[in-house]
Chain A
Amino acid sequence: MSATILVVEDEADIMLTIRLTLRAEGYEVMGVTSGEAALEIFADCPPDVTVLDVALPGIDGLEVVRRLRKDAKHRNARIIITSAHASGHVRLLTDALGCEYLTKPFSTKELAATVAAALSHREDAEETARDPSALNDPLSARAAP
């Protein structure tokens, strides 16, 4: 079963670029254009990795991450922040929120590598965090409260 990637991006052709790239890598890709829509996806069917633009209409990318981090279920969600603003404070916030960071414009090769790394980190994290009682249910860590 291939991993599911959520892409949050309001610029149509950037979305297209990310989506086509990740599909070519063999991932399932879901795309939304707003922070609100992203939070709904997390509520219904959390993705394995999220590629999240900072500059969004409505609640922005960083606010989406803050809200997710308050929720124990999504505390360890793997999120890659994309931003055109390479300014220091976005970078610092990204680190503080435990996210990967990609500066726009990024190469799709870089994107694919970052997503792949995030997926493996997720697995490492699940290994170390694994409750012995959940040993036989790898998916339970993701779903656990």
Chain B
Amino acid sequence: MTAGPAIAPREPAAAGNPLDDVDIADELAVFAKVVAHDFSGPLQSVRGFGNILLDTLGGRIDEQERGYLGEMVVAAERMQALNDSLTSWVRARNAALEVREVSLDLIVAECIEAFRSSAVERGAVISASPLPAVHADATAIGRVLHHLVDNALRYTRADRSPVIHVETAMRGTDPAFVVRDNGPGIAEGNRERAFGLFKRLESNRDGGSTGVGLTISRTIIERHGGRLWLEAAPDGGLEAIFTLPAFSGMASGAAVGSSPVRMDESTERRQRQRRAALATIVELSDEAIFSKDLSGHIITWNRAAETLYGFSAAEAEGQHISMLMAPDRLHELPELMSRVRLGERTHLETVRLRKDGTQFDVALTVSPIRDPQGDLVGASVIARDVTERHQAEGDLRAIFDVAPDAIVVISRDGAIHAVNSQTENAFGYRADELIGQPVEMLLPERFRAEHIARLMAFTTDPKLRPMGTDHELFGLRRDGVEFPVDIQVSTVPTKDGRLPVAVIRDVTERRRLEHLRDDFVANAAHELRTPLTTLAGLGETLSRSFDVMERADIEEAFAAMARQGERARVLIANLLDLSNIEGGRTDFAIVNVELLPLVERVLEAAPPPDDKAVAIAVPSGIAVRADPDRLAQVVTNLLVNAYRYGGQQIRIHAPQEGSQVVLAVTDDGAGIERDLVPKLFEPFTRGKAASVVRGSGIGLALCRRIVEGMDGQIRYEQIVPRGSSFRVSLRRAT
């Protein structure tokens, strides 16, 4: 209606006429109001005097004259009807709406009752499906339904009985009310024109309509924040369809109020615009928003709610909210509703059901809804799908938990706020035993004071800082065992602000390796000490005292120097070998190697001392995958060990062990001391026997590295009743 041209001056609206208490901005409406008001009196006069003339002149004028006069009165009545329509349109535009919850069922029933006789007269059937309650002005909506049904009864087809049906339906995503007839319909291009003032349709033969019904209806529906339009019915008839925001949204629920307060029209218009905007915002929101009454029945249901829960608005509205809840969550409802009744807003993360029965994680915000008098009438619910967030949180939690370090988040008061799985593993507590406890429980007593001091310093200067830079730190397990740790302290942002977080690394293994390395260096130095003492010492003595020394002593000195020089050479060569193999700098030239010739060659190069005997029991033709020089080095080492520490009878043999070929060096000596066996292949492990006859201390360690470098294994077996056996397993030759 706002499209109307400015066809009247504004002055009359401000000229103190009886309607000027209504502030109308719309010029057409101003015109209509003025016309309706100013024409009313003259028309009354024309019709009234016309009727008086008909009565008084009845016998004095002829039939034709009486006909003319009659036409005049009818025309005046017709004009009066038009004027009444105009008035009712203006009223439809401007009158205060009394919006409250009304039963559409009841309004439709009253409407059908009102048309009963004319329906019977025309052989028409008027029916309605069950309709929900809406928030609307009952009288105004009654007029809309009256006009729509009236139109449907007026525009009918001669070839069939009128059938009129009122129902709710979906139009796109909008729930709507439909008044459907089986009349001639309106061509698509003309449908919108039907809403123009006084647009009467061709088939309206009976003259009972002023052509303002659709205009008034649309005005009323739009004032409710809804829309009214026409569509073709499936069977060619017409559908008059309207939406009410009270149905598809909730904004108008808080509308003009239950007491008919006549409002300033511009205020009402602003409110109307605001409500319409709110309704649109709610409807188009990406958040699922719905409302429920105090008994828990769903009142409104927006598009996002449809998407989230899978129920259409038509399916959801009127249903009880419990249909969205898994049975094990129903207990939440009384609590939620009682908080609504207390006027409290509730945030809740829980699980809800979709139409298809699947569950999803949801964050709910439940807020009370009050009517303008402040009475609680229901609750709005904003539902957010947090499955993905939970998934993301779950992913982060998983990362948190697979972190190799213990991570402890500390609250401001020094209590443990959160821990990861590694914290539980490292310290032997369950998370629930740690959270809320003072973080010092994870530290040995002697570090606690320092830790508190550092934490205090940290809160004033929160930079990433390692703890215990000046000494080793230890963690305290639940069982009282201490273990060496590195601690890095940082902060993380949380919903409680930035909190200190300690990343605690168990450095037991690193310390062990460090000690191993230190021991290795110390051992290597120690091993070199005797050769160097001998070489330097005897050299010095010889040079200083050669002339006074007996010949036998001189010879003995040179022999010792040669021996210790060789020992130092072997030690250094072996250390280099070991280092190269461990550093991956040694290439093994793996080929097929026949064992017997190799063993014979080794024995020839390293023959047994006079008091020992070596027997070779390796069948010819057995071959392995190996680097022949490296394998010879291993066999030599094992053989020399046997010469030094083993028994008198030494045997080199090749027992069959499955798919592997084993080369064994076995003696009948005292065997290896039991407590040495686990460390036998580590550098600088040596038994008592070695204090008399010393090797380099790393021969077996080197053997293991070489054998493993050729994809084999070396192991030691105690022989019962006496003896040692070193067994090298290698892949069979291809």
Which residues of A line the B interface, CB within 8 A? 10-14, 16-18, 20-21, 23-26, 57, 84, 104-109, 111
Count of chain B residues near A, Cβ 8 A: 27
Asked if B659 is at the interface (CB within 8 A of a chain A CB), the reply is no
> What residues on B are CB-neighbors of A23 within 8 Å?
549-550, 553
When distances are taken between beta carbons in the complex, the residues of chain A under 8 Å from B537 are 17-18, 21, 105-108, 111
Whether B540 pairs with A57 at a CB distance below 8 angstroms is no
Chain A CB count within 10 A is highest, among B530, B537, B545, B548, for: B537
In the complex formed, the residue of B with least CB distance to A23 is: B553
CB closest residue in chain B, given A56: B691
Q: Are B560 and A17 in contact (CB under 8 A)?
A: yes
B563 at the binding interface (Cβ < 8 Å): yes
Query: Chain A interface mostly helix, strand, loop or mixed?
Result: helix
- Let me know if B529 is at the binding interface, CB within 8 A: yes
Interface residues of B in 676-708 (CB under 8 A from A): 688, 691-692, 694
Dominant secondary structure at the B interface:
helix
Alpha-carbon gap, A69 to B529, bound state (A): 30
Distance in angstroms between the alpha carbons of A106 and B536 in the assembled complex: 9
In the bound assembly, the distance between CA atoms of A21 and B538 in angstroms comes to 7
**Of B532, B545, B694, which contacts A25 at CB under 8 A?**
B545
Return chain A residues, CB-CB under 8 Å to B572.
none
Q: Taking the complex as formed, is B556 at the interface, i.e. its CB lies under 8 A from any CB of chain A?
A: yes
Q: Which residues of A contact B536 (CB under 8 A)?
A: 105, 107-108
What CA separation (Å) do A97 and B545 show in the bound complex? Answer: 32
A102–chain B nearest beta-carbon distance, Å: 10
Taking CB atoms, residues of chain B closer than 8 Å to A10 are 691
Q: Are B530 and A13 within 8 A (Cβ)?
A: yes
Asked if B551 is an interface residue, CB under 8 A from chain A, the answer is: no
A-B contacts, 5 listed (Cβ < 8 Å): A10-B691, A13-B534, A13-B563, A14-B533, A24-B553
Q: Does B541 lie at the interface of the complex (its beta carbon under 8 Å from any beta carbon of A)?
A: yes
Most chain-A Cβ atoms within 10 A of its Cβ — which of B531, B540, B541, B548? B541
Per the bound structure, the CA–CA distance linking A3 and B548 in Å amounts to 17
Kindly list chain B residues whose C-beta atoms are within 8 Å of the C-beta of A25. 545
Shortest CB-to-CB span from B544 to chain A, Å, is: 7
- In the complex, what distance in Å separates the CA atom of A12 from the CA atom of B564? 11
| Known contacts A10-B691, A16-B560, A17-B541; A105/B553 CB under 8 A | no
* Top 7 A-B pairs, shortest CB-CB distance: A24-B545, A105-B533, A108-B537, A17-B537, A21-B541, A108-B541, A13-B534
CB of B198, distance to nearest CB on chain A (Å):
118
Q: Given A12, A24, A84, A108, which contacts B529 in the complex, CB threshold below 8 Å?
A: A84
Instruction: Report yes or no: A14 in contact with B556, Cβ–Cβ below 8 A.
Output: no
A24 adjacent to B541 (CB under 8 Å): yes
Distance of B44 from chain A, by nearest CB (Å): 129
A109 and B540 form a contact (CB under 8 A): yes
Q: In the bound complex, do residue A105 and residue B538 qualify as a contact, i.e. CB atoms below 8 Å apart?
A: no
Question: Smallest Cβ distance from B556 to chain A, in angstroms?
Answer: 6
In whole angstroms, how far apart are the Cα atoms of A143 and B421 in the complex? 74
